[in-house]
Structure 1
Amino acid sequence: MSTNDQLKQAIVDSVEHGAYPEPDISSAEVPSTLIPDLLADLQKARDEVKTDIRSLSKDIAPDVDGWIAQAKKLQADIERSKATARDIVAQAEAGKALKEKTHDAANKVRLLEKEVAFNESLATTLDLIRSSCRILDNADQAYVNNDLRTALDHLKQCDESITALSAVQDTRAVGLLQTRSSRFKSNFLDKTTALAQSLIQCDTDSRSVRIRDQIPDVPSVDLTLIVDTLEYLGGLDVYIRRLKRDIEFALFNPRLSTKSGQHTVFEVSDGSISVSKSTSKPDTIATLDDIWTALDFLSTHLPKSICEPLSQKLLPFLFETLTYTWLDQTVPVQIEQMPVFQQILDRVSRLAEQIDGLNWSSTALLKDWVQNAPRTWLSKRRETALGAARSLLFSGLRDRKTVERVETQTVSKGDAIMGGTDVDEADDAWAADWDEDTPETKEVETKQPEPSTNDDDDDGSAWDMDDDDAEAPTESKDNAENQEEDDAADAWGWGDDEQATDEAPKPDSPKKMTKAAPTDQSTQSGDRELTLRETYTVTAVPDGMLEIVMQVVSDAETLTDPSYSGSPIGPAASALYTLPTFVLAMYRATASTAYSKLDSGNMLIYNDASRLADQIRTFVNKQAEKDAKSTLPNHLRPSSRLRLDNDIKALETFAKRAYSAEMESQRTIIRDMLDGAQGFSNCNAEPFASACDSAVSITEGRLRDVHKQWTPILSRSALLQSSGSLLSTTISKMIMEIEEIQDIGEEESKKLRQFCDKISEVKDLFMQEHPEGGEASDMTGIYCPNWFKFQYLGELLESSLADIKYLWTEGELRLEFDADEVTDLIEALFADSDYRRKAIADIRKTRSS
C-alpha cells in the first residue's frame, strides 16, 4: 500500500472509528494533491453509513413509533409539572406577603406594649421621685427642728427610694435628687459632728475632757443617737480619729510629758477629767494609776460603740508614748534599784489586766514590755557600759600616769640571764629576753624575717616566733621589708615567767640588758628568784576599762545569788557575762581613731592595750581563785561563765599591731630619707656629695627625734628595743647599698667611713648608766643586732688588704660577714692585682676549710 493510501485510510479510520494512526503515519506530511481523494473517500464512507441507517430503520420502525408516543406523553407531563410549579410559586409569593404584614403588625404591637410599659415605669419613677422629694423635705424639716431621730429615719427612707431609682440614675431628675440628698447628708453630718463635740468636749487649752449625756437645747439627742447617725453617714471613723487626737492633746500628752517644770496629774470630777499641775514629779506607778483613771473614765462615760474603735486607735499611741517616755526610763542600771522596778512591772501587768477587763484590745505592747524586761534591762546595761567605755576612751586620754611592770624569774647560778656573774650584771640581762617564750596569737598576718639576715631579728626573738611558722625571705633585700609584726615584742622583750631562756648570746656580741631594780632571793638549790621592774606611761583608759568590766561581772555575780532568783532581770545574768567582750571589742574598734590625735598614739595604744590585757588576765585569775571558795554550783560561778581568753589575746594582738604600725611607719620614713643618698654612688662628687650628706644627717636627726618622742612613753627596755630596731633598719640599708657599689675609690671610701661614723654617733642613746656610779655601758650591740657588722664595715672601708685578711683569719670578721660579702668589698675597694687575687683566694679557702 502506498503512503498516500495509508494516509487516507488513517484519516478515515480516525473519523469513523476514532482510531489513532501509527507514529510514522501521524508524523507524515499530507500533500495538497491528496485532499480531493480524501474528500471522496469520506463522502463514500458517509454514504455507506446512511445506507446502513436506512436499513436498520426499516427493521425497528414500530418500536420508534412507540418511543415517540411515550416522548410526547412525557412532554405533556412535563408541561403539567411546570404549571403546578408555577402555581406553587405564586402561592408562596402570596404567603410571604402575608407574613410580612403579620410581622409588621407584631412589631407595632410590641412597640405599643413598650410604650405602655414606659408610661407605667415613668409614672412609677415620677411617683418615686415625688415621694423621695417629699421624704427629703420631711427630713429637712426634722433637721431644722433638731429632731435628729426623725431626720435620720426619713433619710434612710429617702436612700431606699433613691436606690429603687437605680435604673434611671443617669437621668437629670434623679441626678438632681441625689445632689440634694448628698448636700443634705453633708449638712446633717456637720451638724451631728458639732453636736458630738458638744457632748464630748475636749479643751486643749484648759487640758480637760467633759462628757455630757445630753444637750440642754436639744434634749432628744444623746451619744447613742449621735453614734448611729455618724455611722450611717460614714463619718464615725473620721470623728473617732479626731476625738483620739483631741484626747491626746488635752489629756495624755501633758500628763506623760517629762519636761522639767511640767509635772501634772489627772483630776476626775462629775463627768469631766482634767490635767492639773503638781508640785512634785509623780513617779511611774502614779503615772500608771492615772492612765487607768483616764481609761476607766472614758469607758464609763462613753458608749461601747465609741469606746471600742477609740481604744483601737488611742491605746497603741498611748502605750508607745508611755513606754518610751516613762517605762524605758525606769529601767534601772544599778542592781539596788530592782525592788522598785519589780513594783513597776507588777503595776504594768495589772494595768494590762484592767484594760483586758474592759474587753479592749491593743494591750499586747504592755505585756510584751513586761515579758521583755530582762532583755530591756540587758540592752540598757549594755548601752550604759558601752557609753561609759566610749566616753572614757576620749576623755581618759588626757590623764596619764606612770605604772610599773613587775616580773619574777627564777634563775640559777651561771644562767645566761645572770651571765655567770653577779647580780649587778643580771640587772642588765632581764629586759631583752623577757618575751622569748611568749606564745604568739594566731592572727599573725605578715612574714617573719630570718634572724640571721634581718636587721630586726631581735623583734622575732622577742615574740618567740619559730622559723617554721612563717616564710623566711631568701635575700637580704627582702628581709629589710618584712619586719612589721616582730616589733611589738621588742618594745617589752618579756619572756615566759616560768622558763629561763635557753639561748646563749651571740659570740662577741653579748646582750647587755637595760637597767632594772631586781630583788634577789636565793633558794636551797642555789637558784635565785629575780624580781624585774620597769616603768612606762599609760593613760587612764586601761584602769577605767577594767573598772567597767569588774562592775559588769559584779552585777552578774549578784544576779546569780539565790536572793535574786525571783528578780525580773534574773534571766539576764548569763547574758551579762558577754558585756566585757563588747566593751573590749569597742575599745579595739575605736582606739585607733581616739589615739590618732595624739603624738605617738600607736605607742600609747601599745602600752594601754598591753596593760589592759595584763589587768584582765589578773582579774580572771583572781576571780577563779575566789570562785574556788564559792558555794555556788560550778556552772553559776563567774569564772566558768567568763570567756575572756580570746579577748585577752585580741588585746595583745591589737597592741602588737599598733606597735608594728608605728614601727613600720618610722622605718618607711627612715628608708625614704636614706633614698635621698641615691645609693651612695659618687658620694665625693657634687651634687651627689651634698645629697648624701643631707640624707645621712636628717636620718641621724630623725633617729634622735623619735627616741626623744618615745622616751616619756615607753619603758626603758621598750625604748631601747624600738630605737635599736630603727637603727638596725638604717644601717641595714646602708650596708646593703654600700655593698652594691661596684667600684669604691679612696676618696669615696673615706667619705663612706664618715657617713658610717655619723650614724654611729647615735650610740649615745643606748648608754646604760652603772647603778653604783661606774662607767656607763654601751648597749647598742644588744639592741641593734647588726651593729657590729656596721662597725666592721666602717673599718673595712679604710683598711688594707693585709688588715682585712687578718681580721678574717685571726679576728672576728667572719662572725659578721660571709666570704662573698668580704670578697665583693675587696674587689670594690682595691684594683685588680696579684695581692688582691691571693687575698680573695685565701679568704675563700678559709671559708671552705
Structure 2
Amino acid sequence: MATAAGSRQLRDAMVAFSLDGAFPEDIAELPPVSETDLQPTIDALAKTKIELETQIHTINKETRDDVSSWVKNAKTLQEDIIRSKTIANDIVRQSEAPDVSGEAIEDAEAKVDFLNREVQYSQQVHSVLRKVKQVNQLLSDVETARNERRILDSLRLLEQSWAAIDQVGVSKSCRIMRLLDLRSFELKSDVHDVFDHVWKALICVDVEAGRVAIYDSLDDENMSLPDAVIGLKAYKEVDERMEQLWRNLDAAIVSPRMDITKSTIPAIKVEANELELQGQANASVAALLSDLETVFVFVARKLPSDLLQSLSSVMMGDVVPKLIQQWLNPAVPSSLTDMTNFQAMVERTRTFCTALRDSGYTGFDELTDWASKAPTTWLGKCREYALDTVRTNLTKGIGKPKQVEKVEKHMVSLSEGKELATTGAGAAADTNEWGEDWGDAWDDDNEEQGAEDSQPQPESGPDKEGTEDDGADAWGWDDDHAAEKPREDANVAAAAAEDDSADAWGWGNTDTTVGPDAGERKKHESAAGKARKEETRELVLKETYNISSMPEPVLELIFAILEDGAVLTKDGDDYELVSSTAPGLFSLPTFALALFRAISPYFYFLDVGGNMFLYNDAMYIAEKLSEFSSAWKQREN
C-alpha cells in the first residue's frame, strides 16, 4: 500500500508540475524515486499529453476562421500602407514638377533605373574579368617559375594568386572560380614536388653508406637552404621535415656511433659540407662526446636558426637519455679507484653542454642536470654497488666453511687465578675449545715451572713454537714483565715457589738468593706475598670456531667504503668533485649491514647447519667491526 500511495503522490506531483508549474510545498513527503514504481507517473504524463493535444486541436478548429480573417486583414492593411506610401511619393513628385505628368515621370525613372543597373552590372563584370585575368596571369607566372625551379618565386606568386582569388568577389561555386581553384591547387602540388626534389638535393642522407651532406646552395638549383625555410613554413612542414632529418641523421651517423653493443665503433669524419662514418673510434665517453659535439656543431652551422629550434626538440629527446643511460651512468665508478677518469668525464660533459648552448641548441637540461649532480650519481652508484655486492654474495650460499680464532683478554689477580685453578675453570674452558693446553698450565711440576719462570722468555703468541707446553703462555702471562720486576719481588716469588697454585700461574722463580737472616727473609716474603695477591695480569682466552664464506666479503666491502670515505676527508682537494659526498659514503656500511641482516637468514636456512653459521657469522662480524672501530679511533687522519 505504501508503494502504491507513493506512486500516486509522485504521479500527481509530476502532472501538476507539467500543467501548472506547481511543486509540492514539502518535498520530503515525496517518496524516493529509486524505490517508487514510475509506470503510473509515465502513464499519467502520456494521458495528460494526449488531452493537451486534443484541447489544442479543438481550439485550433474553433478559432481557425478568426485567425484566417486576422491574417487576411493584416495583409490588406499592409497593402494599403504600401499603396499610401506610393501615393504620397507621387504627390510629392507631382508637386515638384507640376508640368510633367506622373506617367511620363514614371517612365523616365524606370529607364534611368534600368540604365543604372546595366552600367553597374557591366562594371561588375569588367572588374571580375580583370581580376580573373590577374589571377590567371599569376598562375601562369607560378608555372613559369616552377619550370625554372625558382621555388621561392613560385611560392610567393602562389600566395599572391590565393589572395587575388579571394578578392574576385564571386561565389566559389561559380564555374570560373572552381577552375581557378583547381589550377592553383595543381600548381601548389607541382611546386611542392619540385621543392621536395631541391630539398633532398640540399640535404642528402645516405643511411647505408653512413653519410650526410648539407649544402647551403647548389649551382644547378635556384633555391638556397635559407630560402627553404620559407617553403617549409608555406607548406607548414617545418616540424615534419626536421623530425625526418633527425631520423635520417640518427640512422646514418649518430646511432652507429653510439651503439655500445658493437665490438668496433666507427669514427666520424667531418668536411666542409659532409659528415661520414670512417675508421674506428675509441670506446671512451670522452671520444663519444667529442664526436657528438662535431656532429651537432656541424648541423648548427649548416642549418638556419629557425630550423635548428625545431630540430633540437626532437634530437635532444633521443640523444640525451641514450647518452646518459648507455654511456654516462655505466661509466660512473663504484669507488675512488677510477675517480680521475670520472672527474674528467664530468668536466667533458659540461664542456659538451656549453658547446650545445653556444651552438643554439635547447632541450638538453637533463644532461646539464646530470653533470651538476654527478657527485650524487656517484654516491648512488656506490650505494647500488654495495647493496648489490651483499645480495650477490648471499646468493652464493654458505660456501666452504673457514676456521677462525676468537681471543678474549681479561685482567685477573693471583687470588682469582687460584680460584680458577681450584674450580676447574681451565678444564671447563678446554671443553669450549679455548686451547689444548689450558689444563696443562695447572699441572706442571713446581720445579719445572720455577725453572721456566727463572729464565727470560721471549714474546710469545698463538703461533710461537712451544706455546702448547707452556702453561703460563697459554694464559698469556708476560714473562718479560716478570723479568723487569725488582730483585726483591723475584726473591719473594722464589721463596713462594713451593705453592703449587703459584707455580701454575708462573709466579715462581728458581733464581733465588739465600739471605743471611731467615727471619728477615720471612718478613719480606709476607709483605711481598700480600702485594702479589693484589697484582693483576692479562689473561688471554682463545677459542676456535667455524664461519661461512658470507661475512668476509661483507666486511671487506665495509672496510673499503670507510677507507674511501677517509681518503675523501683527508685528500678532498684531489677528489674535489665528490668530496662533499663523504658523509653519505660513511652511511653506506649501515645500509649494507641492514640489508645483510634483513635477507641473510633466508640463505642461511637453506643449509643444514645454517642456524649455527648464522650465529657464528654474526659473532665474527661483530668482533671484526669492534676491532676495526678500535683501530679507526686510533688513526691520526
State the TM-score bracket (shorter-chain normalisation).
Answer: 0.5 to 0.7
Asked whether 1:257 is paired with 2:243, we answer no
Instruction: Give CA-to-partner distance per residue, 1:649-699, whole Å, 9 cap, x none.
Output: xxxxxxxxxxxxxxxxxxxxxxxxxxxxxxxxxxxxxxxxxxxxxxxxxxx
Once residues 539 and 173 of structure 2 are traced to their aligned partners in structure 1, the CA distance between those partners, rounded to angstroms, is: 111
- Aligned residues of 1:414 and 1:421 also touching (Cα < 8 A): no
Q: Could you tell me which residue of structure 1 aligns to residue 554 of structure 2?
A: 545
Post-superposition offset of 1:242: 0.5
Q: Counterparts of 1:204 and 1:555 in 2: how far apart (Å)?
A: 48
Match of 1:770 in 2: none
Task: Describe the shift of the 1:172–1:368 C-alpha distance in structure 2 as closer, same or farther (beyond 3 A).
Answer: farther
State the alpha-carbon separation in 1 of the partners of residues 160 and 305 from structure 2. 27
8 Å contact from structure 2 (residues 208, 252) kept in 1: yes
The reply to whether residue 98 of structure 1 matches residue 84 of structure 2 is yes
* In 2: Cα distance, 1:166 partner to 1:558 partner: 85
Q: Secondary structure at the match of 2:547?
A: strand
Inter-partner Cα distance in structure 2 for 1:605 and 1:533: 21
- Provide the C-alpha distance between the structure 2 equivalents of 1:539 and 1:113, rounded to a whole number of angstroms: 117
Is 1:301 equivalent to 2:302 in the alignment? yes
Query: Offset of 1:545 from its aligned partner?
Result: 0.5
Quote the residue 2:276 is aligned against: 274
Report deviation, 1:602: 4.1
Higher mean C-alpha deviation, range 361-370 or range 97-106: 97-106
Does the 8 Å contact 2:332/2:342 carry over to 1? yes
The 1:605/1:191 distance shift into structure 2, 3 A limit, reads farther
Verify the 8 A CA contact 2:151 2:223 in the aligned structure 1: yes
- Give 3-state SS (helix, strand or coil) of 1:403's partner: strand
Q: Which amino acid aligns with 2:253?
A: L
In the alignment, which residue of structure 1 is the partner of 2:514?
none
Counterpart selection for 2:634 from 620, 625, 648: 625
Specify the alignment match of 1:204 in structure 2. Answer: 207
Task: Determine the structure 2 residue equivalent to 1:385.
Answer: 386
> Of 152, 157, 170, which aligns to 2:155?
152
Supply the AA of the counterpart residue of 1:389.
Answer: V
Aligned to 1:68: none
Contact 2:139–2:161 (CA under 8 A) maintained in structure 1 = yes
CA distance in 2, matches of 1:189, 1:248: 25
Q: Which whole-Å CA distance do the structure 2 matches of 1:404 and 1:536 have between them? A: 6
1:510-589 to 2 correspondences below 5 Å: 524-525=533-534, 531-562=540-571, 564=573, 567-589=576-598
Paired position in structure 2 for 1:222? 224
Residue number in structure 1 paired with 2:498: none
Q: Which AA in structure 1 matches 2:239?
A: D
Shift of 1:312: 3.7
- CA apart distance, 1:144: 2.9
* CA RMSD, Structure 1 to Structure 2 (Å): 4.0
Compute the displacement of 1:528 (Å): 7.3
Q: Do residues 247 (structure 1) and 249 (structure 2) align?
A: yes
Q: CA deviation at 1:415?
A: 10
What is the CA-CA distance between 1:244 and the residue it aligns to? 1.1
Aligned residues of 1:409 and 1:531 also touching (Cα < 8 A): yes
Measure, in 2, the Cα distance between the counterparts of 1:196 and 1:231. Answer: 13
Report the Cα distance in structure 2 between the residues aligned to 1:521 and 1:375, rounded to whole angstroms. Answer: 60
Structure 2 counterpart of 1:421, which letter?
T
CA distance in 2: counterparts of 1:587 and 1:427, whole angstroms: 32
Structure 1 residue 369: deviation in Å?
A: 2.3
How many angstroms does 1:542 deviate by?
0.9
Distance 1:532 1:234 in 2: 89
Percent identical across equivalent pairs?
26
Shift of 1:553: 0.5
Separation (CA, whole Å) in 2 of partners of 1:596 and 1:121:
102
How far does residue 192 in structure 1 lie from its aligned partner after superposition? 1.4
| Deviations 1:469-494 (CA, angstroms, capped at 9, x unpaired) | xxxxxxxxxxxxxxxxxxxxxxxxxx
SS of 1:210 mapped into structure 2 = strand
State the Cα distance separating 1:584 from its structure 2 match.
1.4
Q: Is the 8 A contact 2:210 2:253 kept in 1?
A: yes
| Alignment CA distance shift 1:338-1:96 (3 Å) | closer
Q: Distance in 2 between matches of 1:341 and 1:273?
A: 29
Deviation at 1:208, TM superposition (A): 1.1
Name the SS for the 2:423 alignment partner: coil
Q: 1:162 to 1:95 in 2, by over 3 A?
A: closer
Deviations 1:766-813 (A, max 9, x none): xxxxxxxxxxxxxxxxxxxxxxxxxxxxxxxxxxxxxxxxxxxxxxxx
Residue identity opposite 1:253 in structure 2: S
Q: How does 1:13-162 map to 2 (within 5 A)?
A: 97-99=83-85, 124=127, 128-129=131-132, 131-162=134-165
Change (3 A) 1:563 1:116: same
| Alpha carbons of structure 1 residues 220 and 594: separation in structure 2 relative to 1, 3 Å | same
Amino acid at match of 1:608: D
Q: Which amino acid aligns with 1:291?
A: L
| Structure 2 residues not aligned, in runs of 5+ | 1-77, 91-105, 434-503, 508-531
1:566–1:414 Cα change, 3 Å: closer
Task: Rate the CA distance shift 1:339–1:140 in 2: closer, same or farther, 3 A.
Answer: same
Give the equivalent residue in structure 2 for 1:285: 286
Kindly indicate whether the alpha-carbon contact (under 8 Å) linking 1:264 and 1:277 is maintained by their aligned counterparts in 2: yes
The structural deviation recorded for 1:561 is: 1.8
Partner of 2:354: 353
Q: Secondary structure at the match of 2:360?
A: coil
The equivalent of 1:611 in structure 2 is 620
Given the superposition, is the C-alpha separation of residues 117 and 610 from structure 1 closer, same or farther in structure 2, using an over 3 Å criterion?
Answer: farther
Quick check: 2:198–2:221 contact (8 Å CA) kept in 1? no
The SS at the match of 1:397 is: coil
The separation in 2 between residues aligned to 1:602 and 1:392, in whole angstroms, is 18
Any idea what SS the aligned residue of 1:615 has?
Answer: helix
- The whole-number CA distance in structure 2 between the counterparts of 1:540 and 1:354 is 51
Distance in 2, matches of 1:610 and 1:170, equals: 97
The 8 Å contact of residues 289 and 349 in structure 2, kept in 1 or not, is answered as yes
Counterpart code for 2:242: I
C-alpha separation in 2, matches of 1:166 and 1:401: 101
Gap change, CA 1:94 and 1:312, over 3 Å in 2:
closer
Number of aligned residues: 448
Q: Does structure 1 conserve the Cα–Cα contact (< 8 Å) formed by 2:207 and 2:252?
A: yes
1:184-229 per-position Cα deviation (integer Å, ceiling 9, x unaligned): 334433431232111111111111111234345x431221222211
Separation in structure 2 between the aligned mates of residue 116 and residue 178 of structure 1, nearest angstrom: 29
- Code of the residue aligned with 2:569 in structure 1: it is T
Say which SS state the counterpart of residue 362 (structure 2) adopts.
coil
Q: Name the CA distance, whole Å, in 1 between partners of 2:184 and 2:589.
A: 73
User: Aligned equivalents of 2:153 and 2:589: distance in 1?
Assistant: 74
Deviation (angstroms), 1:556: 0.8
TM-aligned CA deviation for residue 274 of structure 1: 0.5
The 3 A distance-change label for structure 1 pair 330 and 531 is: same
Determine the C-alpha separation between the residues in 1 that align with 2:564 and 2:254.
36
Alignment of 1:343-742 (within 5 A): 343-409=344-410, 418=420, 421-424=423-426, 426-427=428-429, 524-525=533-534, 531-562=540-571, 564=573, 567-626=576-635, 629-630=636-637
- Contact 2:152/2:230 (<8 A) preserved: no
Deviation at 1:122, TM superposition (A): 6.9
- Name the TM-score, length of structure 2 as normaliser: 0.61
